[in-house]
Homo-oligomer: A and B are copies of this chain.
Amino acid sequence: MSVTLKDVALAARVSISTASRALGGSGLTSERTQQRLTRIARELGYRPNPIARGLKTGQSRLVGLLVHNLANASFQVMAEVVQARLKALGYQMLLCIAGDDPQLESDTLTTLADHRVDGLIVVPTGKNGARLTALANEIPIVCLVRRDDGTDLETVLADDSEGAFVGTRYLTGLGHRRIGLIVGRPDTTSGRERLSGYVRALREASIPVDDTLIHAGHFEPETGAASCRKLLDLTEPPSAIFVANHEATLGVLRVTAERGLSIPDDLSLLCYEHSPWFEWHRPAISIVDNGARDLANLAVDRLLHRMDAKGNGADSVREYRVGARLVIRDSCRPFDPAARGSSATKLSRSKA
């Protein structure tokens, strides 16, 4: 099979431990043997066996990343960023997809723990706080994107409240007063906070909050489609829709297409989270960018920090926020009372 440390030691006529020390760069060997061993190892094509090392050191050089899916553009970039950053440091990423399912999440955490990952970045469902807390005693964990209220692990979040606030304010600034909101489930950090940002912006603009304009639901295209239909079918439909639920965007686009609505002329549309498609979509869709890349980078930073500080205990557990950014493109326009989506033309829906 492959060449082991023993082979190297044998070839160099030193003991296995000397070989280990020399190659481990511990600096506990003479300059000469170190160089000699390095050379011999290279000649023999020696590559340390991480499994054997892991058994001894209790480390695996593996880091887990647990996300809900890969369809979401944010999770894609997170996976790419995490894998790239870690690889540069000699770690491999164990990517797990748990579909926002608490049971699957729990099982996956177990598997990850079994594999003795050296660290773990997880986008929690929010239903496994106890599991996570327990696991955190064994391995460094940082939560990403969502907080699990059942635990107080270090967490890297987007500034969703601010993001939704900025996005909604942009819309009110454009003169819209009836703004539909399609947002994530209120039992998720992002769902709650985006809703609160929306409400705050409305209050600031002295616009009463109309519950019929707010649809909170699962992170799925269907949610977007159903919600969008209901919004458009209102006797006083909104003139703008803020889709603060990334997965739901597809559904919204489908419905607006089905109904032949022209964006932004008939309806202004603002979405959440960056995706290349939004940029090339016609019209280019304005978004609130949650900063997925920065979130991922920060999560990796924090994780590495914890992995280094391993055991230093009492390291203050923090919550970090990555600011959101409004990216204005072409899917929103100033409120026009004559436009179809405005309440002034509520009866014109029959055209569809």
Q: A113–B47 Cα gap in the complex (Å)?
A: 10
A71 within 8 A of B: yes
A115 x B55 contact (CB < 8 A) = no
Query: What 1/0 flags go to A45-67 for Cβ under 8 Å of B?
Result: 00111111011001011100000
Residues of B within 8 A of A108 (CB): 87
Q: A113–B2 Cα gap in the complex (Å)?
A: 10
Q: A67–B86 Cα gap in the complex (Å)?
A: 17
A49 x B253 contact (CB < 8 A) = no
Within the complex, the shortest CB–CB distance from A222 to chain B, in Å, comes to 12
Q: A116–B54 Cα gap in the complex (Å)?
A: 12
A114 x B69 contact (CB < 8 A) = no
**Which of A76-84, A229-237, A312-320 is the contact stretch?**
A76-84
Residues of B within 8 A of A50 (CB): 114-116
A96 within 8 A of B: yes
B110 x A47 contact (CB < 8 A) = yes
Query: What 1/0 flags go to A283-297 for Cβ under 8 Å of B?
Result: 110000000000000
A76 x B70 contact (CB < 8 A) = yes
Q: Known: A51-B51, A281-B281. Is A87-B70 also a contact (CB below 8 A)?
A: no
Residues of B within 8 A of A92 (CB): 94, 96, 111-112, 115
Q: Which residue of B lies closest to A69 (CB)?
A: B80
Q: A1–B58 Cα gap in the complex (Å)?
A: 10
A83 x B60 contact (CB < 8 A) = no
A299 within 8 A of B: no
Partner of A70, one of B55, B60, B61, B79: B79
B51 x A55 contact (CB < 8 A) = yes
B97 x A94 contact (CB < 8 A) = no
A25 within 8 A of B: no
Q: A186–B92 Cα gap in the complex (Å)?
A: 32
Partner of A76, one of B48, B54, B76: B76
Residues of B within 8 A of A2 (CB): 138
Taking A253-B280, A254-B280 as given, write out 9 further A-B residue pairs in contact, using a Cβ cutoff of 8 Å, ordered by the A residue number.
A51-B115, A52-B55, A70-B77, A83-B97, A93-B96, A94-B95, A250-B280, A257-B282, A257-B284
